Amino acid sequence: MKTPIRVMAEVHAEPARRALLMAGLVASPVLLAGCLETLLPRPAALPQRYGLDNGVRVPRVAASLAGAPSLVVDLPRAAAGYDGRRMIYMRQAPRLEAFAFHEWLDTPAQMLVPLLVAALQGEAAFGVVVRAPTAAVADWRLETELLRLHQDFTQGPSRTRLTLRAVLLHAATRRAVAWREFDLDAVAAADNPESGVFAAQLVARRLAQEVAVFCASQVRIEDGSAR
């Protein structure tokens, strides 16, 4: 037989039990969602993307000579391994690897074209410089192939290496007048992808200038021999 005191205690405890039960029912979806969030795989981090020109254009500083020839810069080719957007590096030659969370905005070969066009436009040897595809009829044509662009960690500090083959042709006959392989590098400030990108931007601008000087000098030689 329950005493009056025990009966009163149970009567007062019953609302408390119901309140605890309701709190558990309300909180359980929140706890369940937290558990699921912990168990489910997290989405992969988006890669950081970089350009080669960094918004810099080579200014035109030379006035074209009267009757200066025109030039078309063909769409570039790229060697296997360098024809995608992945940022390539080397820790042990000749094995190439790619950074997981860093990549280029476009293929490096494509991103070199605006730099080449801008640098060539700065040469007085050319009147008009355009990029393919174009309906314009040009006197000269420049074909390029990207052979190498990677950050080299085989020595310290790391360096970004850029190698490009350039072929200058008579547009009408497709005859190759001259070709040259450009191999440049720049020291990275630190052994990380961001420093490698900055070094790549520096070396890409240097490359564009050297290719422009090469093409202009060959055109002047051909023009002189034609006379």
- Listing DSSP states for 124-189 in one string gives TT-SEEEESS-S---SEEEEEEEEEEEEE-SSSS-EEEEEEEEEEEETTT--EEEEEEEEEEEE-S
Q: Encode pLDDT of 1-47 as tens digits.
A: 555 545 444 545 566 565 544 545 444 555 555 555 566 666 666 78
Residue among 102, 133, 78, 112 nearest 212 (CA): 112
- Check: pTM over 0.85? Answer yes or no: no
pLDDT of residue 16: 56
End-to-end CA distance of the chain: 129
136 and 198 share one domain: yes
35 and 57 share one domain: no
Place of tokens 């979806």: 29
Q: Are strands 48-50 and 95-104 parallel, antiparallel or unpaired?
A: parallel
21 and 37 share one domain: yes
Q: Extract the tokens encoding 20.
A: 């605890």
Q: Encode pLDDT of 154-198 as tens digits.
A: 988 999 999 999 999 999 899 999 999 999 999 999 999 999 999
68 and 9 share one domain: no
Report residue 20 CA to chain centroid gap: 58
Domain boundaries, position 163: 48-226
